[in-house]
């Protein structure tokens, strides 16, 4: 199958969306399919010294339109693009992606066009290209788009004003003509269907994130200390008072019990609004340790006694955190601070999995302490591994996507 992928983010950009799209592209290539890519130039590159380039060496070289450097020109381009597509959510780079995509479609033939990241704005390109060239089109939602459709605490889950309503109305006019709607979870597909008033029962395809792993290593104990590692952003949406209370309780309990264990948080963003007073100095058991490149984060997973996932405190968890796919692929024990009603709970069976923490501070801290005590005692921790890691395997995800697209012919 020949696929034209149109996206804003693509490796080596340091964004979760870029990693997801890059891994999916590589999985499709490894399965014998051809993928051409049109994207923006990356704006968030890996930190200096990060060994990420080798991870993406086999990706196709993307078409990257040049963008004006002057801020005034970028603003003018955005205004012109919004007038052209009659949508307030359009950026000035989209017409450039559209022109490059047209040039590719005029010289090569494709079976499918896939747009996404961000999904709502690029849907205008997908529908325009399908209308002009007759190529089938799939829209990929890794997250709710536009942002207002995200559930609390990220956003309200609904249009919050005239601008949002108009943007959704315009995007819906395009998405009505999409041949397929792609999302990593069934819950997210249902959210998109509600937000846009779309019927996705026949054309909705679940495409999980892909998990990668570094070479297998034994858990590394630094001076006899067992480390539980969190890898990823800690932004204010996720850094709630419940998480802060959990971490403060853990810090005290680890110290009081004199456990040779620690929690280490790595990530590009630390918002102290709710976490003030949580992270201490080198002597504290709960510590923020700075930023890692993606390759280094995969290696760090293999050195940890356990891996910690932190989701926002939500009534219903619609997301499949992209980092969870890597955690599952690593084969390491996983601890999940996730909503009791949500995608992660569905995958692991909720509290029947010993590493599922829920989001109550007392329950979560007690379960983490229990894990640390077992690790210190040298007990078998295989029951803490993610039970359905195969669904994140590259060949499995590529097969789910291609099989779903072929079923729509």
Mean pLDDT of 70-77: 61
- If pLDDT is split at 50, 70 and 90, which confidence band does 291 have? confident
Residues paired with residue 262 on neighbouring β-strands, in sequence order? 227
The reply to whether omega before 291 is within 30° of 0 (cis) is no
* 219 assigned to some structural domain: no
With cut-offs at 50, 70 and 90, classify the pLDDT of residue 285. confident
Strands 226-231 and 306-310: parallel
Using one digit for the tens of pLDDT, what is the confidence trace for 135-150? 999 999 999 988 889 9
Average pLDDT, stretch 149-177?
89
Provide the CATH number for the domain around residue 9: 3.40.50.2000
Least confident of 40-49, 113-122, 133-142, 162-171: 40-49
Same domain? 165 vs 235: no
Sign of CA dihedral 13, 321, 218, 365: positive
Question: For the chain, what is the mean pLDDT?
Answer: 87
Q: How far apart are CA 306 and CA 48, in angstroms?
A: 27
Answer whether residue 216 is part of any domain: no
Q: Are 343 and 349 in contact (CB under 8 A)?
A: no
Contact, 184 vs 346, CB < 8 A? Answer: no
For residue 237, the model assigns a pLDDT of 60
Query: For the chain, percent helix, then strand, then coil, each to nearest 5?
Result: 40, 15, 45
DSSP state letters, 52-97:
-GGGGTTSPPPB-----SSHHHHHHHHHHHHHHHT-TT--TTHHHH
- What are the residues facing 226 on neighbouring strands? 261
Q: Classify residue 218: in a domain, yes or no.
A: no
pTM given for the model: 0.90
More confident residue, 99 or 238: 99
In a domain, 197, yes or no: yes
**Could you tell me if 240 and 377 lie in one domain?**
yes
Same domain flag for 300 and 196: no
Residues 232 and 206 in one domain: no
pLDDT, position 77:
61
Residue 272 has pLDDT above 60, yes or no: no
Q: Are residues 123 and 154 in the same domain?
A: yes
**240 and 196 in a common domain:** no
If asked whether residues 33 and 174 sit together in one domain, one would say yes
Residue 137 near residue 115 (C-beta atoms within 8 A): yes
As a dihedral over the C-alpha atoms of residue 21, residue 145, residue 41, residue 126, rounded to 10 degrees, the angle is: 80
The answer for residues whose C-beta is within 8 angstroms of residue 303's C-beta and 6 or more apart is 217, 219, 220, 227
User: For residue 167, is pLDDT > 70?
Assistant: yes
Higher pLDDT, 180 or 52: 180
Band the pLDDT of 225: cuts 50, 70, 90: confident
CA neighbor of 262 nearest in space, from 228, 303, 290: 228
301-324 average pLDDT score: 93
Query: Does residue 238 sit in the same domain as residue 297?
Result: yes
CA–CA distances in Å: residue 200 to residues 38, 193, 211: 26, 6, 26
The answer on 287 and 205 residing in a single domain is no
Summarize the confidence of residues 275-287 as an average pLDDT. Answer: 67
Lowest mean per-residue pLDDT among 167-181, 201-215, 264-278: 264-278
Residues 206 and 235 in one domain: no
Q: Which of 168, 182, 154, 76 is nearest to 121 (CA)?
A: 168
Residue 73, pLDDT score: 58
pLDDT at 331 over 80: yes
pLDDT at position 82: 61
| Residue 389 pLDDT greater than 80, yes or no | yes
Share of the chain above pLDDT 90, in %: 56
Residue 384 counted as domain residue: yes
Tell whether 94 and 231 lie within a shared domain.
Answer: no
Asked if 299 and 326 touch (Cβ cutoff 8 Å), the reply is no
SS3 218: coil
Mean pLDDT of 121-146: 94
Q: Could you tell me if 238 and 265 are in contact, meaning their C-beta atoms sit under 8 angstroms apart?
A: no
Domain membership of residue 171 as a residue range? 2-210+393-407
Q: Is the pLDDT of residue 319 over 70?
A: yes
More confident residue, 74 or 14: 14
Please report the pLDDT score of residue 266 as a whole number: 86
Confidence of residue 71 (pLDDT cuts 50, 70, 90): low
Cβ count within 10 A of residue 131: 12
406/245 Cα distance (integer angstroms): 49
Percent of the chain with pLDDT over 70: 84
Using CA atoms, how far apart are residues 365 and 117, in angstroms rounded to an integer?
A: 36
Average pLDDT of 379-394? Answer: 95
Question: Do both 252 and 382 map to the same domain?
Answer: yes
Q: Tally the domains of the chain.
A: 2
Residue, of 304 and 49, whose pLDDT is higher: 304
């Amino acid at each position: 199958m020949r696929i034209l992928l149109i996206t804003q983010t693509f490796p080596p950009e340091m964004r979760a969306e870029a990693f997801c799209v890059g891994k999916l592209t590589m999985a499709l290539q490894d399965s014998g399919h051809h993928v051409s890519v049109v994207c923006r130039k990356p704006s968030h590159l890996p930190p200096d010294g990060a060994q990420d380039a080798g991870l993406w060496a086999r990706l196709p070289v993307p078409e990257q339109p040049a963008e004006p450097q002057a801020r005034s020109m970028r603003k003018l381009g955005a205004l012109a693009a919004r007038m052209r597509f009659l949508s307030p959510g359009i950026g000035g780079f989209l017409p450039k992606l559209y022109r490059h995509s047209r040039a590719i479609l005029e010289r090569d033939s494709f079976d499918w066009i896939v747009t996404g990241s961000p999904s709502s704005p690029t849907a205008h390109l997908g529908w325009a290209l399908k209308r002009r060239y007759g190529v089938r089109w799939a829209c990929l939602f890794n997250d709710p788009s536009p942002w207002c459709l995200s559930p609390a605490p990220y956003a309200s889950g609904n249009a919050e004003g005239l601008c949002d309503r108009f943007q959704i109305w315009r995007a819906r006019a395009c998405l009505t003509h999409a041949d397929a709607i792609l999302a990593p979870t069934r819950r997210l597909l249902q959210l998109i269907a509600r937000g846009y008033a779309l019927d996705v029962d026949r054309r909705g395809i679940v495409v999980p994130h892909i998990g990668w792993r570094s070479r297998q290593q034994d858990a590394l104990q630094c001076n006899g200390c067992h480390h539980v590692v969190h890898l990823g952003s800690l932004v204010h949406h996720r850094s709630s008072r419940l998480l802060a209370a959990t971490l403060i309780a853990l810090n005290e309990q680890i110290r009081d019990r004199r456990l040779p264990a620690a929690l280490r948080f790595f990530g590009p963003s630390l918002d102290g609004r709710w976490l003030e007073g949580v992270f201490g100095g080198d002597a504290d058991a709960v510590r923020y340790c700075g930023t890692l490149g993606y390759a280094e984060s995969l290696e760090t997973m293999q050195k940890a006694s356990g891996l910690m996932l932190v989701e926002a405190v939500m009534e219903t968890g619609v997301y499949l955190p992209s980092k969870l796919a890597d955690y599952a692929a690593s084969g390491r024990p996983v601890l999940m601070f996730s909503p009791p009603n949500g995608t992660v709970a569905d995958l692991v069976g909720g509290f029947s999995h010993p590493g599922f923490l829920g989001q109550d501070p007392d329950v979560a801290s007690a379960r983490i302490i229990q894990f640390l005590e077992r690790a210190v005692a040298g007990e078998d921790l295989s029951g803490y591994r993610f039970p359905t890691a195969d669904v994140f395997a590259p060949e499995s995800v590529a097969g789910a996507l291609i099989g779903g697209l072929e079923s729509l012919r």
